[in-house]
Amino acid sequence: MRKVMVGMFTVMGLALLCSSTEAKPTKKIAKPASSSQPAPPSSSTPTPPPAAEGEWSLAEKQMWIAAQEELDSWMKRANDKCGTKIVGRFDKESFRGLLDPKNGSTGLPGYAGAHCSAGPGALDEICTVVNDNEASAKMARDAVKAKISVIECRWGGKGKSAMSLSDKKLTETIDVDTDNAAGFQDRLKTFIKSKI
């Protein structure tokens, strides 16, 4: 059986070798007909294509870094108070077209930074020892640990403020036009306490 297979491979190899060394006829390639219209003038500065969905300019990427650092500082306070390792993040696509360097280093519109800090701020308050009641604070810390692992801030826009908790992800959809950040944080705190 082995000799048969070796023989087959040898024959196939020779066939391939012979077929690649055969002379092949050459075809003449016709020149394209000359056009009576001149080629369009080339611009010295080409216009870049618009960024595809999911792509961000360098300026926007730098603003997102600043926004994330700000959110991380709020998350650190909440995590220290609650004894957790909850991750804070943005639903960046919901902010598409809203970042502007005129709004500061984060580029976030209006009071969006303060609104996005409402989630970690609410957790900070929930896990705080009130009136020396350590047992109540421990119960709150245990509930937060068990039920929340991510806080995501999403842009909603006017009239679209919302909050949800699903699969250990707390989503806060912000509306800087209607809500003030402190009031939103109070509502978020009440919501979280009712869900954990």
Q: Which helix (H) or strand (E) holds 138?
A: helix 134-147
pLDDT of residue 17: 40
Q: Give percent of the chain with pLDDT exceeding 70.
A: 72
| Res. 44 pLDDT band, cuts 50 70 90 | very low
Cβ-proximal residues to 106 (8 Å cutoff; 6+ apart), any chain = 63, 66, 67, 70, 113
Q: What is the mean pLDDT of the chain?
A: 80
Q: Which segment of 18-32, 48-62, 107-121 scores lowest on mean pLDDT? A: 18-32
| Residue-level pLDDT at 20 | 44
Provide, rounded to the nearest whole percent, the portion of the chain with pLDDT above 90. 60
Taken in order 59, 60, 65, 68, is the CA torsion positive or negative?
Answer: positive
- Find the range with the poorest average confidence among 23-27, 90-94, 98-102, 179-183: 23-27
- pLDDT score for 54: 64
* pLDDT band, residue 105 (cuts 50/70/90): very high
pLDDT of residue 51: 45
Average pLDDT over residues 132-151: 92
Using pLDDT thresholds of 50, 70 and 90, give the confidence band for residue 21.
Answer: very low
Which two three-digit tokens encode residue 79?
A: 């995590």
Summarize pLDDT for 63-91 with one digit per residue, the tens: 999 999 999 999 999 999 999 999 999 99
The DSSP-derived string for 15-73 is HHHHHHHS-----PPPPPPPPSSPPPPPPSSPPPPPPPTT---HHHHHHHHHHHHHHHH
